[in-house]
């Protein structure tokens, strides 16, 4: 179990480091255009997505800078999904994560791994950054990645 806890702890460290940096960078490029706002429900999320799509298609927000942030955000999204998946599969609570000390002596309970028989496969579906031609940026996907990053990272923070 300590290996799984270690993987989650390492993922959390990377999520925290990269996530806050990305959140700040998104804010830097979106705030001047009035697009970096929080959403509390699906209606607000949809409204923000439409606004951001319009700003990107009208070049109000630099699409290349936004693309680079989205590309970086995909790794944070995968780590956030992996952390959630492992915590669910192995029934690991937030308090258990906080108690875990890497390098410390394992308790008897830590040595037991109870892998569920009906464990699902980890899937991390990330929208494609490019359209089918492999050259044109897929603005819809970039908006979805931004929204997913913002939503998952907010629940992490």
> CA angle at residue 79 from 115 to 99, to 5 degrees?
60
- The most confident of 57-61, 68-72, 94-98, 112-116, by mean pLDDT: 68-72
**How many domains in the chain?**
1
The stretch 100-129 carries a mean pLDDT of 68
Residues spanned by the domain of 83:
2-156
Amino acid 135: pLDDT: 95
What is the rounded distance in angstroms from the CA atom of residue 5 to the CA atom of residue 11?
10
> Which of 149, 143, 138 lies closest to 51 in space, CA to CA?
143
What is the rounded distance in angstroms from the CA atom of residue 69 to the CA atom of residue 116?
36
pLDDT over 70 (residue 110): no
What is the rounded distance in angstroms from the CA atom of residue 148 to the CA atom of residue 29?
18
Least confident of 24-38, 92-106, 123-137: 92-106
> CA angle at residue 17 from 15 to 22, to 5 degrees?
85
What secondary structure letter does DSSP report for 152? H
Q: What is the pLDDT of residues 23-51, one digit of tens each?
A: 999 999 998 888 766 777 788 888 889 99
Contact 55, 143 (CB under 8 A): no
């Amino acid at each position: 179990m300590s290996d799984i806890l270690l993987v989650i702890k390492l993922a959390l460290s990377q999520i925290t480091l990269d996530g806050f940096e990305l959140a700040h960078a998104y804010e830097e490029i979106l705030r001047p255009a009035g697009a970096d706002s929080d959403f509390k429900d699906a209606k607000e999320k949809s409204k923000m997505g439409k606004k951001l799509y319009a700003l990107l298609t009208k070049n109000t927000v630099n699409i290349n800078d936004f693309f680079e942030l989205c590309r970086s955000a995909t790794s944070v999204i995968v780590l956030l999904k992996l952390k959630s998946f492992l915590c669910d599969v192995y029934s690991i609570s937030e308090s258990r994560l906080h108690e875990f000390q890497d390098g410390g002596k394992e308790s008897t309970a830590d040595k037991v791994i109870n892998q569920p028989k009906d464990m699902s496969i980890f899937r991390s579906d990330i929208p494609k950054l490019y359209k089918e031609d492999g050259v044109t940026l897929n603005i819809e996907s970039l908006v979805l990645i931004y929204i997913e990053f913002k939503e998952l990272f907010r629940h992490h923070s």
